[in-house]
Amino acid sequence: MIKKPFIIIAFCLLFVPFIKLSAQEEPQNRRIADNDGDLIDRFFTGGTIGLQLGTVTAIEADPILGYKLYKDYLSVGIGGNYTYYRIKDFTVVPPQVYQTSLYGGNIFARVYFLKNVIPSIKDFFLHGEYQALSVETQYFDPNFQFHNTPRYWVNSVFGGIGVRQAISEKSSITLSVLYDFNATIDSPYYVDPWVIRFGLELGL
């Protein structure tokens, strides 16, 4: 959740005009394996982590379980979300420190492209995600303007781009830059709707 990662996004979008059908470049035996593999080979797991330091300290951990719908070009999945928040409020004297936990779940879809076009990078992907997150009212709606319960659910719709690099036959590391298109005033993403995630994918 680092603010305004425009440099990273510009770098990723720089290569979009070179999108092509990577399937034509893959070896024939790889395509056969994708079609004839066991069902378990279509599943993958892993997760992402995020870190933000400063006035707000946020440590995020998100396990995932995914399924390859079409070879290695389209996948869908579900995940859990947990974030530890530590907020330092300088509006009072002396400054007060508050701690809270955010938790929930998500569903996502990814479309992979630009396979093996750039040396050392396996492919790029477009990422879409719906997330439901439970947050504490006293920190994100302190005046109870919208909610009158101790906790409430925030719905977020993320979209963005990422890169994936293989580190073994069935495992990869990922980096994604996402934007919350539904960051309402009572959302923890309202001030900063950008999210940067580092992840790991493990094939089953």
Q: Please report the domains of the chain, with CATH numbers, ordered by start residue.
A: 6-203 (2.40.160.20)
Give the whole-angstrom CA distance, residue 179 versus residue 84: 20
Give one DSSP letter per residue of 68-124, joined into a string.
Answer: EEETTTEEEEEEEEEEEEEEEETTSSS-EEEEEEEEEEEEEEEEEESTT-STT--EE
Amino acid 5: pLDDT? 41
Tokens of residue 196, six digits: 């940067």
| Per-residue pLDDT tens over the stretch 93-123 | 888 888 999 999 999 999 999 988 887 788 9
Most confident of 51-60, 87-96, 105-114, 140-149: 105-114
Average pLDDT, the chain: 82
State how beta strands 43-52 and 74-89 pair: unpaired
C-alpha neighbours within 13 Å on the C-beta side of residue 197:
27
- What average pLDDT score do residues 86-99 get? 82
| Per-residue pLDDT tens over the stretch 144-192 | 889 999 999 999 999 999 999 999 988 999 999 999 999 999 998 887 8
